[in-house]
Amino acid sequence: MTLSGLVLAIFVALITDEIFSWVPSLFRWIIRRNSKTLPPELADRYQEEWYAHLNEIPGRLGKLLFAIDTVRAAHKLAHQCTLPRVSRLQFLGVRFFDVAMCVMLLVMQLPLLIAVAISLFIENGGHGPILCRLPYVGLYGRRFNALKFRTFRLKPTGVDIGSADPRVSLIGKYLRRFGIDELPQLINVIKGDMSLVGPQAQRPGYFDYLQTEIPNIGKRNFVRPGLTGFAQLYAPYEGPLDNPKEKLKYDLYFIEHFSVKLVLGILYRTVVLVSFGRR
């Protein structure tokens, strides 16, 4: 009985000794793993800095808590330090493509645009504006006025109740249904306010609110806002992912992989979606 007790005690002592001698390398392993999630230029620095910090913490429990907390630190640091790097070549390429494409589209749709303009002109007996200008947040947070066909009545009454908004005029209803009211934004694209593909343009007031809520939302302004975009396609309006935080993930992916090729791909997907519906 005492002999087996002794053997057990020695065994336990050996095991705990073994485990405790492992522990420091375990802590270092956790830290190494976490610092690896940082961008390469920072990974080495923080690995060494955190090793030094770990070295100065007295107890094992403190060391463990510190090592685990570097998960949080690395995650936040990675977000803080990565400003999106958009390739200038791709940026210019997309701009060139935008202008060429929009000039072509505008020429092709000129008859439609003229017809809509005339019908809006007639609807109000020759009064009131045909286009309206709405302020939006653009590239690097600059403000610009987006052009749209006016879809509201001249003296709007009532409040927005979804699909049957009483402020929308008769022609406006059809313009909205087919998205024709957005077509004048092609002029914004040619002017350089917008792009064909990019994050959705936000109203200034709402964007200011988002900036207080979501720390990294400003990063989406590193490219021009677009008529269509990655987030608009894959996290569509009123879908399960329709919230600014989810959409930002898509926008940031788009910005990180910003290229003419990706833009063409998203345009293609948009055309397929508009022509054949969601699949």
Partner 1 sequence: MPNRNLKEPRLTLQSMKVLGAFLGNLNREFSGADIHKLTRIPSGTLYPILMRFEQFGWLDSDWEDIDPSEANRPRRRYYRITPSGLEKANNALLPFRQGVPA
- Closest to partner 1 by CB, 60 vs 177, is 60
Which 25-64 residues touch partner 1, going by CB under 8 A?
A: 45-46, 48-53, 55-57
Q: Give yes or no for a contact between 183 and 111, defined as CB atoms under 8 angstroms apart.
A: no
Answer yes or no whether residue 254 interacts with partner 1 by CB under 8 A: no
Q: In Å, how far are 66, 178, 228, 250 from 236, measured between CA atoms?
A: 41, 17, 11, 11
Q: Which residues contact 270 (CB under 8 A, 6 or more apart)?
A: 197, 228, 233
| Size, binding site for partner 1 by CB under 8 A | 24
DSSP 92-156: HHHHHHHHHHHHHHHHHHHHHHHHHHHHHHHHTTT-S-SEEEEEEE-GGG-EEEEEEE--B-SS-
Structure tokens at 262: 């990706």
Which 96-125 residues touch partner 1, going by CB under 8 A?
A: none
Which 212-231 residues touch partner 1, going by CB under 8 A?
A: 218
- What character string, x for contact with partner 1 (CB under 8 A) and - otherwise, covers 60-99? -----xx--xxxxx--xx--xx-x----------------
- Closest to partner 1 by CB, 142 vs 173, is 142
Taking the complex as a whole, the smallest distance from the CB of residue 157 to partner 1 amounts, in Å, to: 41
- What character string, x for contact with partner 1 (CB under 8 A) and - otherwise, covers 179-218? ---------------------------------------x
Residue pointed to by tokens 């439609």: 112
Which is nearest to 222 in space by CA: 110, 112, 137, 129?
A: 137
Interface positions with partner 1 (CB under 8 A): 45-46, 48-53, 55-57, 65-66, 69-73, 76-77, 80-81, 83, 218
